[in-house]
A and B are shown apart, each in its own frame.
Chain A
Amino acid sequence: ANGNRDVVDPEVRAYVSSLVSALGGSGADEDGRYILGDDAIACLRDLKRWLKLYDEKANRLDVARCLAESNLVGGDLLEILATWSENATEDRLKLKVALACLELMVPLTWPLEKNPEQMTVNHHRHIPYLEIAQLGYKRDIVNYDGARILHTAVRCALPSMAQDMGDRSSRDEGIIKLMLYFLRNIAMIAPPPNVQYEGDEAEISRSSMIDAFDYQDIFQLLLTLSSTMGEDFNTQDVVVLDLIFQLIKGVDINKLFLDEKKVKSGQMDELAQLREKEAAMLRSYQTHAPTRHNRFGPMVWIQREDGKNTAISGQAAVSDSTRGLAKMDSTKKFRPPHRALKSQGGPMDFDTSARLTVTATKHLRAFVEEFLDAGFNPLFNHVRKAIDREAERILEYHPRQFFYLVSWFLEAERARRQIKAPSSRQKSVNPDDLDSFSLVASVLSQEMFVTLNRAMDSAFENKLWHNLSAAMKCFTQILITVQEMSESPLEEDQEIAENILNRIFYEETTHDRVANITRTYKDQGFGYLDSVTDLAHNYLRILERYAKQNMDLQVRSRRRVRRKKKAAREAGEDDGNDNIVDESEGEDETRAERTSNERKFDFKRFASRFATQGCVDTFVTFTGYYNDLKPPQLKRAHRFFYRVAYKQDMSVMLFRVDIIALFYKMIKGPQSLDPQSPCYKEWEAFVKQILKRSFKKIQERPELVVEMLFSKINSTAHYLEYGYEKQTVTTT
């Protein structure tokens, strides 16, 4: 009832603050240097005990609050860590003190969970304060002038890390973990959603974090850990994973791999592009804006059937009836209830894009390249095994991070190859100079496909949409990488890619899964929608290409197999069971023709699963965001509709009033696509074609006027398209 009452028990506060003041301090007579108190180590231990035995046991957060109020981290711990200079590494006492500081900082910076079932009154009271306090911790630690704090934390763990994995005691393992979690916590701290950070955003931004990691040699540590994962380190894999995830989530790969000069001009281009986009927006507004003042007061009647009239005010209706109708619509107040999107925020969100400064981009790019060269295979292979075995340290969010990171780094690797490509083409192509895809081979293995398939299945079943989204991104990137591999000049790469594609092509369960996921989109948010459509698009595209693969290529691949077998037989390795060696070239050709025909048929059957109303609806929802979509995304939607209408001959699926309205709005509406944008032309041509077809159909079959309102089931659609029922019994 008393509003002024302290939120923390005064006795607790007294104890804690006396401990903090006993820790040490700086004074004028010491030249402002920080002097440790006589019993500083004991004080640090006591504080730790308070955190553990009071806060943790009683689930209260009171001590954490007191420590935040007394500025323990900025005022004492950082000062103490700074006194351990780089050339005093051998000082045992200093190491001990530094470790004790670290032991306090890790629980203080630990991410605060808001689990509504376990929150007590105290949590509600303290968490908002502590969230802001943690931002302060991060700012102080990253920008501390006196010493490299993050680096000091690493130095605490160096003696333990130097030991062989087998020789490390559990205390050593604990210290390594402590240091890694410290780094992870610092990287993870971010302003909570809906809170405006009052200080300088740049001090706690991702860019400042990356710059600090570079300056304090943390990237070196990450590279060492990930490249020796499995040899010198074992259980640390998930923390490293988490840490890298916090660094790269949402970073745009294309911007990362632009040249520095191009970045500068790119930024200028970006500004110019944005200005142009804005100008286009204003232009389209101005063509529809009233030409006289707002009290001019024109009023128009729309004459309707049955002697009815509708009055519309404003100039809109004077010039053309479409805009009159739009005005009539916009004055209606009723809104049907609708469900909110299930989108995600917080530290595990990877859909929000992150912007980096020029220096941060440079540093991160250097790290990414080195990681791809050395750390990718060992780390991801190790984590995958842990996930497969359902190791205890794997938490619910680790698979999601894993799949997201794999997809991100695969895309980064492709971007890097693309940059390298032109220079390698100029030289005479020497196969030894070319990079093979072995740098990322660990995620193209059969085991990875098993893990991925299982993850997608379980996420889909349990409705864990963000997990599913990450897994789909991963699958998409693997597909694209395999596709590029099949075009590689290295024979070995081609062969591996062909095998993988072959397996995917005949895997019905995967076809079903992809089609099912595409069909069942509902309110999962834009990030998910983007992943789904991207997967469906690439899956169809790559399998189509595989099905079309010319005979020549197949003949060549059989010839290659034969040559290998022959060599093997001559060496006496093969038991000669199969007769491929004895076949002739002519047989190869007939066989190849047969396979390619079979494949065409298979692909057609498979693609027809995407010509259903559910899949079309998913892409329509996606296209609804057309003004925010990037050119490749618009292209994706265009290709899909084109495929449905022309390749699958199911344009009837698009003959629905809301879809027609969307298409019309994209081209002619007040918020149409920018006519200068590269996608506008092909969309305009496509929409025109679809409209033409739909009018023709309406005239052919007047019953379509009613069916235009509804989703069609397949049999009706078939009748409307072709004019006769689909034959269910096939005669051969």
Chain B
Amino acid sequence: ERSGAGLGIDEEVEVTRKPRAPRVKLDEHRLLSAAGIPKLRKRARDHLKFKGKGHEFSDAARLLGFYQLWLDDLFPKARFLDALAMVEKMGHKKVMQAARMEWINEGKPHSSVH
């Protein structure tokens, strides 16, 4: 009487593969999130200072370091120049362009229509 039923042979075995962890991407959402450009703007306001005349190259090094550390926080796996290229590419997206316009308009003095 006892068939294979009790042994569970006839039951369908479900093969489940754990889905691969999605690859982290540097996309417009990441850029627009709090760790993205908003953070960059805040840091720039608080920390980015230049020494000025006579220190052009050290100032440039400081500026580049500033961006590099920000990108390392945002997207640690890519190298600086690669990450810069990715960000630049994102800048062509509609969402990003709208956001960029907004940031620029924030900075505009309201009465300076020539």
B77 (CB) vs chain A CBs: closest residue: A334
Residue of A nearest to B108 (CB): A719
A2 to chain B, nearest CB (A): 44
Contacts of A708 in B (CB 8 A): 67
Interface centre among A321, A702, A709 (most CB of B within 10 A): A709
| Distance in Å: Cβ of A396 to nearest Cβ of chain B | 35
Residues of the B chain whose Cβ atoms lie less than 8 Å from the Cβ of A719: 104, 108
Name, among A304, A660, A703, A727, the residue most crowded by chain B CB atoms within 10 Å (CB to CB). Answer: A703
A332: which of B57, B60, B63, B77 is its contact (CB, 8 Å)?
B77
Contacts A325-B68, A703-B107 given; indicate if A336 touches B114 (C-beta within 8 A): no
Report Cα–Cα, A304/B53, bound state, in Å.
27
Question: Taking the complex as formed, is B86 at the interface, i.e. its CB lies under 8 A from any CB of chain A?
Answer: yes
Q: Is A448 an interface residue when CB atoms closer than 8 A count as contact?
A: no
Q: A702–B44 contact, CB under 8 A?
A: yes
A720 CA / B88 CA spacing, docked (Å): 18
Q: Select which of A322, A333, A706 is within 8 A of B61 by beta carbon.
A: A322
Q: Does B98 contact A (CB under 8 A)?
A: no
Of B50, B68, B100, B108, which contacts A706 at CB under 8 A?
B100
A452 to B44, CA, bound (A): 52
Q: Select one of B37, B69, B114 contacting A304, CB under 8 A.
A: B69
For residue B112, which residue of chain A has the nearest CB? A724
Contact B48 A705 (CB under 8 A): yes
Contacts of A724 in B (CB 8 A): 112-114
- Contacting residues of chain A (279-332) with chain B, CB-CB under 8 angstroms: 304-305, 308, 310, 321-322, 325, 328-330, 332
Say whether A707 contacts B100, CB under 8 Å: yes
B104 touches A707 (CB 8 A): yes
A688 cross-chain contacts in B, Cβ below 8 A: 56-57
Which residues on B sit within 8 Å (CB–CB) of A668?
57, 60-61
List of B residues within 8 angstroms of A706 by Cβ: 37, 40-41, 100, 103
Contact of A657 with B113 in the complex, beta carbons under 8 Å: no
- Whether A658 is near chain B, meaning CB under 8 Å from some CB there, is yes
Residue contact B81 to A325, C-beta cutoff 8 Å: no
Known A332-B79, A660-B63, A695-B50; judge A703-B91 contact (CB<8 A): no
A709 touches B50 (CB 8 A): no
List the A residue with the shortest CB-CB distance to B53.
A692
Task: Check B68 against A329 for contact (C-beta < 8 Å).
Answer: yes
B82 within 8 A of A: yes
Q: Answer whether A701 and B61 are a contact pair too, CB < 8 Å, given A304-B69, A334-B79, A336-B82.
A: no
CB distance from A700 to the nearest CB of B (A): 10
Most buried by B among A310, A334, A656, A699: A334
- Chain A positions within 8 Å of B108 at CB level: 719
In whole angstroms, what is the CA distance A663 to B64 when docked?
11
Chain B 87-102: CB-based contact to A (< 8 A → 1; otherwise 0): 1100110001000110
Known: A325-B68, A702-B44, A705-B48. A658 touches B85 (CB 8 A): yes
Chain A residues with CB under 8 A of B91: 709-711
- Interface of A (DSSP majority class): helix
- Check A705 against B65 for contact (C-beta < 8 Å): no
Interface 1/0s, chain B 32-58, versus A by CB < 8 A?
000001001101110010101100110
A664/B61 contact (C-beta < 8 A), A329-B68, A336-B82 known: yes
Give complex CA distance A708, B87 in Å: 11
Whether A329 lies near B80 (C-beta < 8 A) is yes
Whole-angstrom CA separation of A699 from B107 in the bound complex = 12
Q: Which residue of B lies closest to A699 (CB)?
A: B50
Would you call A691 an interface residue if the criterion is a C-beta within 8 Å of the partner chain's C-beta atoms? yes
Roughly how many angstroms separate A308 CA and B84 CA in the complex, as a whole number? 22
Report how many residues on chain A are interfacial, defined by Cβ distance under 8 Å: 47
Chain A contacts for B92, CB-based, 8 A: 711
Bound together, the chains give a CA A724 to CA B114 distance in angstroms of 7
B104–A709 CB distance below 8 A: no
Report the nearest A residue to B83, measured CB to CB: A336
Q: Does A389 contact B (CB under 8 A)?
A: no
CB of A667 within 8 Å of the partner chain: yes
Complex contacts, B106 vs chain A, CB 8 Å: 703
Interface centre among B57, B85, B87 (most CB of A within 10 A): B57
**Residues A660 and B107 in contact, CB atoms below 8 Å apart:** no
- Distance A709 CA – B41 CA, assembled complex (angstroms): 12
Report if A702-B45 is in contact (Cβ < 8 Å); known contacts: A688-B56, A692-B56, A719-B104: yes
B72 contacts the other chain (Cβ, under 8 Å)? yes
For A330, the closest partner residue in chain B by CB is B79
The answer to whether A336 and B86 touch (CB under 8 A), given A705-B40, A710-B91, is yes
Q: Residues of A contacting B67 with CB < 8 Å?
A: 657, 708-709
Residues of A within 8 A of B53 (CB): 692
Question: What chain B residues lie within 8 Å of A310 (beta carbons)?
Answer: 72
CA distance A310 to B72 in the complex (A): 10
Write out the residue numbers on chain B whose beta carbons fall within 8 Å of the beta carbon of A720.
Answer: 104
- Can you show 26 pairs from A to B with CB atoms below 8 A apart? A304-B73, A322-B61, A322-B64, A329-B80, A332-B78, A334-B78, A335-B82, A336-B78, A657-B84, A658-B84, A660-B60, A660-B64, A661-B84, A692-B56, A695-B63, A703-B103, A706-B37, A706-B40, A709-B67, A709-B84, A709-B88, A709-B91, A711-B92, A716-B101, A719-B104, A724-B112
| 6 shortest interchain CB distances as A-B pairs | A710-B91, A703-B107, A705-B44, A334-B77, A691-B56, A724-B114
Q: A residues within 8 Å of B by Cβ? A: 304-305, 308, 310, 321-322, 325, 328-330, 332-336, 656-658, 660-661, 663-664, 667-668, 688, 691-692, 695, 698-699, 701-703, 705-711, 716, 719-720, 723-725, 727
Q: A656-B88, A710-B88 are in contact. List 18 more A-B contacts (CB 8 A).
A: A325-B68, A328-B72, A332-B79, A334-B78, A336-B82, A336-B85, A336-B86, A661-B84, A668-B61, A691-B56, A702-B44, A705-B40, A705-B41, A705-B44, A706-B100, A707-B104, A724-B113, A727-B114
